[in-house]
Amino acid sequence: MEINKIAVIGAGAMGSGIAYWSSFNGFNVSVTEQNDELLKRGMQKIKDNVITGVNKGKITPKQAEEIMAKIKGTVNLAEAVKDADIVIEAVFENMDLKKEIFRKLDASAPKHAVLATNTSALGITEIASVTKRPEKVVGMHFFNPVPAMKLVEIVRGNKTSDETVKIVDDLAHALKKETVTCRDSPGFIVNRILGPILNEAVLLLQEGIASREDIDKAMTLGTNFPMGPLRLADFVGLDVALEVSRTLEKGFGEKFKPPSLLVEKVKRGELGIKTRKGFYEY
Ligand code: 3HC
């Protein structure tokens, strides 16, 4: 299937990154948020990505303008998806919210459109169950920061068709990403492994075994992590890390239980870089 238009639902760190990267690679994009204020912030995040692209010498100022011109922002979800060939949902990690969105997408997107979710860990089959096209629902999991991370994880729900998997695999390659494919299971591949790593780093801090700096230094110098796990948790967002951990705990039990320090930090609104305070101050 030829993809001309990509609709992105949600313009947080992931949605804005996906919108930018799709336009960067030549696609027409619509992006939608719940209200004008969030849309304005999302469009600014897209511009920040464009500026980074220029500063890193990846695009010229003229190309930057062309990239922005290909991205249309709207607060009207039905309008955003009405002529889309694929929709990529990137809203907050909450099953009820995702189901509500997928009901709306199913009602408003063209019949041929694939409905993909960028969920970090939630069940694709369950999200697909609220639509009349479960064979066209699939996980398309990008990584943060989208322009720099080379992987897209493709997750098959119980009813996802081979054709749908091929469409998103082709799209991921058109977006210059590598892909892996897996069955629907909490946390898929990456977050099932990464979730416990982040949790153990938080537990080391919580138990007073080492300082935040030494935990991160140990993993960057001892295992060549590009950034330490506590800094990475701040980067991903502690609210997202907590939701991933909760989904893993629900699926696999006690060993994935989120550490109390992570729960407390989220309760206090210390969510990492986006709130300027997490395990570090920004
Ligand atoms: N436009 C175009 N290209 C861009 C760009 C942009 N806006 N931003 C970056 N790039 C390009 C750069 O030019 C560079 O290209 P090159 O390889 O050809 O030189 C490439 O992307 C890498 O970018 P940087 O040079 O900025 O990358 P750094 O080497 O400085 O590393 C980092 C920064 C990528 C953030 C690195 O520290 C890192 O990998 N950290 C770990 C990140 C991580 O693990 N993310 C996954 C989190 S888990 C997740 O997201 C899943 C979720 O479900 C929780």
pLDDT block averages, 10 residues each, the chain of length 282: 96 97 98 97 97 97 97 97 98 97 98 98 98 98 98 98 98 98 98 98 98 98 98 97 98 96 98 97 98
Residues in the ligand 1 pocket, defined by CB under 6 Å: 49, 52-53, 56, 58, 120, 143-145, 147-149, 191, 194, 226-227, 232, 236, 240
Give the residue from 153, 115, 107 showing the smallest Cα distance to 134: 115
* Residue 83 alpha carbon to ligand 1 centre in Å: 31
Q: Which amino acid is at 1?
A: M
Q: Catalytic residue, from 16, 49, 108, 120: name it.
A: 120
SS3 assignment, position 189: coil
Cis status, amide bond into 196, omega within 30 of 0: no
Q: Catalytic residue, from 23, 28, 141, 245: name it.
A: 141
* Residue 111 alpha carbon to ligand 1 centre in Å: 35
Q: Catalytic residue, from 33, 89, 93, 153: name it.
A: 153
* Residue 152 alpha carbon to ligand 1 centre in Å: 14
User: Is 120 an annotated catalytic residue?
Assistant: yes
Give the residue from 22, 2, 116 showing the smallest Cα distance to 68: 22
* Residue 147 alpha carbon to ligand 1 centre in Å: 6
* Residue 150 alpha carbon to ligand 1 centre in Å: 8
Contact 260, 268 (CB under 8 A): no
Q: Can you list the positions of beta strands (E) in the chain?
A: 5-9, 28-32, 71-74, 86-89, 114-117, 137-141, 151-156, 178-183
Among 44, 63, 149, 152, residue to substitute to test ligand 1 (most atoms within 8 Å of Cβ): 149
User: Is 35 an annotated catalytic residue?
Assistant: no
Dihedrals phi, psi of 179, to nearest 5 degrees: -125, 155
The CA distance from 235 to 246, in Å, is 19
Residue 7, sorted as left (phi over 0), alpha (psi -120 to 50) or beta, turns out to be beta
Residue 255 buriedness (CB in 10 A; 0-12 / 13-18 / 19+): exposed
pTM of the model: 0.97
Q: Which residues of 82-97 are buried (b: 16+ CB within 10 A; e: fewer)?
A: eebbbbbbbbebeeee
User: Is 260 an annotated catalytic residue?
Assistant: no
Structure tokens at 12: 């947080």
Q: Catalytic residue, from 28, 191, 199, 245: name it.
A: 191
Give CA separation, 48 vs 13, 43, 64, 180, 233, in Å.
11, 9, 11, 29, 21
SS3 assignment, position 97: helix
Residue 57, sorted as left (phi over 0), alpha (psi -120 to 50) or beta, turns out to be left
Q: Which amino acid is at 119?
A: T
User: Is 199 an annotated catalytic residue?
Assistant: no
Give the residue from 136, 132, 102, 133 showing the smallest Cα distance to 119: 102
Q: Following CA atoms 235, 239, 242, 243 in sequence, which dihedral angle do they give, to the nearest 10 degrees?
A: -120
Of ligand 1's listed atoms, the one at least distance from the Cα of 141 is 53
